[in-house]
């Protein structure tokens, strides 16, 4: 086993330049691993919307490189409320209220529609929401220019004599590397190659989301100064609405979720109108409706996730899946991108320890053994969380049972020590 300062006799292709691909590139650069990022788009970019990272994920960013954390802090609003808060949970659906507008009785007090029912506490430390495009820009700044090739859409990977992987792109060109790390997202071509078309196929989760952003100043005008600046969750039947500040408190991010049995449109992101959005929330409170009414240019996102992968890697040719390519999740626990960061830390450190192509498979196996159970558990519990927030879980609309589940369900994600994962993976690598 080598050290990170030793020259590597392998070089890697990273397919996809999203949060996973770029974070992994930073992690591998630290260990002087030669690599090229192949991105299908003409430039790095993300669809404009927010993404939140809790304290454990920001700590993992720092373990990969303090510069990632610094970049995150520059573009996040870094909410450090005391006590630390994930969401205030409120009921936003008038159908849950009695004749007088009350939805729940707690500690001898009647709680009305729109009142905070309880708060889901998070964990201390820097955390918060970022605009995806801003965070991606920060990641790009850390990488040397020329590390990426654009308009390179991967269509296939074959094996060269000697075991290298040959990447075939839609423009007819090829590239040869010792191994491929598939960071190409939920519809990953690398996933199809490793798992086969059937197992790789994403599954509609039964939920779709409207996503939009509102300038914070505008949100403060109709919601007051306090609520828009802290994360809020409004729950109801077959839907919930999340709001949280991003981009140093300058943007009010809105995601509203609704349920339907199937999604038939081949496109997953489609333009919608405010009227369609409002129609889904006809029975909700005036406040929820005014949040929706103020969203400009809303998009509908069909929410798909992956069925559990039986493996995250293959050896002929060498391909390893990471981030959404390996375990795309619904967003209901706000942890999909966080899991990508964790993957990058573990795989990056393992690859930093080896020097030769022969050891790659062992590193992939150790990464797979440690990361797969945790990442797949996140996918499944996130789907369940979507049912909980939409009052469709086993708790239904029993708000006492709902609270009990909600305040404890994130502990295994947030209290996890990623260094312990790495320790286990290193042991496997050396075994």
Ligand X SMILES: Cc1cc2nc3c(=O)[nH]c(=O)nc-3n(C[C@H](O)[C@H](O)[C@H](O)COP(=O)(O)OP(=O)(O)OC[C@H]3O[C@@H](n4cnc5c(N)ncnc54)[C@H](O)[C@@H]3O)c2cc1C
Of 250 and 356, which has the nearer Cβ to ligand X?
250
By CB under 6 A, residue 393 contacts ligand X? no
* 160 CB-side CA count, 13 A: 13
Kindly identify the residues of this chain, within the stretch 62-91, that bind ligand X according to CB under 6 A: none
By CB under 6 A, residue 93 contacts ligand X? no
Q: How near is the Cβ of 214 to ligand X at its closest, in Å?
A: 16
Q: Which residues pair with 109 in a beta bridge?
A: 106
By CB under 6 A, residue 245 contacts ligand X? no
Nearest-angstrom CA–CA distance, 78 and 246: 9
The piece of 34-42, 196-204, 375-383, 393-401 that touches ligand X (CB under 6 A) is 34-42
Nearest partner of 35 among 8, 12, 6, 5, judged by Cα: 12
DSSP string, 369-394: HHHHHHHHHHHHHHHHHHHHHTT-ST
Q: Are 390 and 240 in contact (CB under 8 A)?
A: yes
* 324 CB-side CA count, 13 A: 25
From 6, 41, 121, 125, residue interacting with ligand X (rule: CB under 6 A): 41
By CB under 6 A, residue 153 contacts ligand X? yes
424 in active site: no
By CB under 6 A, residue 336 contacts ligand X? yes
DSSP string, 94-162: GGGS-TTSEEEEETTEEEETTSEEEEEE--SSS-EEEEHHHHHHHHHHHSPTTSEE-S--EEEEEE-TT
Of 333 and 355, which has the nearer Cβ to ligand X?
333
- Total residues at the site for ligand X (CB under 6 A)? 35
From 114, 236, 298, 331, residue interacting with ligand X (rule: CB under 6 A): 331
Q: How near is the Cβ of 246 to ligand X at its closest, in Å?
A: 10
Q: How near is the Cβ of 420 to ligand X at its closest, in Å?
A: 20
Of 114 and 323, which has the nearer Cβ to ligand X?
323
The piece of 45-53, 116-124, 216-224, 305-313 that touches ligand X (CB under 6 A) is 45-53
Nearest-angstrom CA–CA distance, 139 and 60: 14
* Residue whose tokens read 């196929």: 201
Of 207 and 365, which has the nearer Cβ to ligand X?
207
Q: How near is the Cβ of 98 to ligand X at its closest, in Å?
A: 33
Compute CA 362 distance to the chain's CA centroid, rounded to the nearest angstrom: 27
The piece of 151-159, 273-281, 346-354, 395-403 that touches ligand X (CB under 6 A) is 151-159
DSSP string, 159-190: E-TTS-EEEEETTS-EEEESEEEE---TT-HH
By CB under 6 A, residue 239 contacts ligand X? no
Collect all residues with Cβ–Cβ distance below 8 Å to 216 and sequence separation of at least 6: 228, 229, 245, 249, 250, 251, 252
Q: Are 68 and 338 in contact (CB under 8 A)?
A: no
211, 371, 372, 383: the catalytic one is: 211
By CB under 6 A, residue 151 contacts ligand X? no
Q: How near is the Cβ of 9 to ligand X at its closest, in Å?
A: 26
By CB under 6 A, residue 379 contacts ligand X? no
From 126, 128, 185, 231, residue interacting with ligand X (rule: CB under 6 A): 185
Kindly identify the residues of this chain, within the stretch 10-29, that bind ligand X according to CB under 6 A: 15-21
* 330 CB-side CA count, 13 A: 27
Collect all residues with Cβ–Cβ distance below 8 Å to 91 and sequence separation of at least 6: 97, 103, 104, 113, 114, 115, 117, 234, 235, 236, 399
Site string for ligand X, 204-223 (x = CB under 6 A): -----x-x------------
Of 38 and 367, which has the nearer Cβ to ligand X?
38
Residue 197, classed as helix, strand or coil, is helix
- Binding-site ranges for ligand X (CB under 6 A): 15-21, 38-41, 51-53, 152-154, 183-186, 189, 209, 211, 255, 301, 323-324, 331, 334-338, 340
Q: Which residues are catalytic?
A: 211
């Amino acid at each position: 086993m080598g050290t990170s300062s030793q020259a590597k006799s392998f070089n890697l292709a990273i397919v996809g330049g999203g949060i996973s691909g770029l974070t992994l590139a930073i992690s591998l650069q630290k260990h002087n691993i030669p690599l090229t990022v192949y991105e299908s788009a003409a430039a790095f970019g993300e669809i404009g919307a927010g993404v939140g990272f809790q304290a454990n994920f920001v700590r993992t960013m720092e373990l990969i490189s303090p510069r990632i954390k610094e970049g995150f802090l520059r573009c996040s609003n870094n909410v450090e409320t005391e006590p630390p808060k994930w969401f205030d949970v409120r009921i936003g659906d008038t159908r849950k209220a009695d004749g007088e507008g009350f939805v729940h009785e707690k500690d001898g007090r009647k709680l009305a529609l729109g009142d905070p029912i309880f708060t889901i506490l998070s964990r201390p430390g820097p955390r918060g929401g970022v605009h995806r495009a801003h965070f991606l820009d920060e990641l790009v700044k850390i990488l040397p220019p020329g590390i990426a090739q654009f308009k390179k859409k991967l269509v296939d990977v074959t094996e060269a004599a000697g075991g290298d992987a040959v990447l075939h792109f839609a423009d007819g060109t090829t590239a040869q590397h010792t191994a491929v790390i598939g960071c190409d997202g939920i519809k990953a071509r690398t996933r199809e190659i490793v798992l086969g078309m059937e197992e790789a196929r994403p599954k509609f989760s039964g939920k779709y989301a409207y996503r939009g952003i509102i300038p914070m100043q505008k949100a403060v005008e109709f919601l007051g100064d306090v609520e828009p600046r802290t994360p809020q969750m409004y729950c109801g039947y077959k839907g919930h609405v999340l709001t949280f500040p991003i981009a140093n408190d300058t943007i009010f991010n809105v995601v509203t979720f609704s349920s339907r049995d199937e999604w038939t449109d081949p496109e997953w992101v489609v333009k919608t109108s405010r009227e369609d959005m409002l129609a889904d929330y006809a029975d909700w409170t005036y406040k929820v409706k005014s949040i929706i009414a103020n969203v400009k240019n809303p998009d509908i996102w069909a929410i798909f996730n992956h069925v559990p992968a039986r493996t995250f890697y293959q050896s002929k040719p060498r391909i390893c899946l990471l981030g959404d390519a390996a375990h795309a999740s619904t967003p209901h626990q706000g942890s999909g991108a966080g899991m990508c960061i964790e993957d990058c830390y573990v795989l990056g450190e393992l690859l930093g320890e080896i020097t030769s192509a022969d050891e790659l498979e062992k590193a992939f196996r150790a990464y797979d053994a440690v990361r797969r159970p945790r990442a797949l558990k996140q996918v499944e519990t996130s789907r369940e969380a979507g049912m909980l927030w939409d009052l469709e879980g086993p708790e239904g609309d029993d708000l006492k049972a709902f609270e009990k589940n909600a305040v404890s369900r994130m502990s295994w994600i947030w209290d996890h020590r990623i260094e312990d994962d790495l320790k286990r993976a290193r042991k496997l690598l050396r075994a």
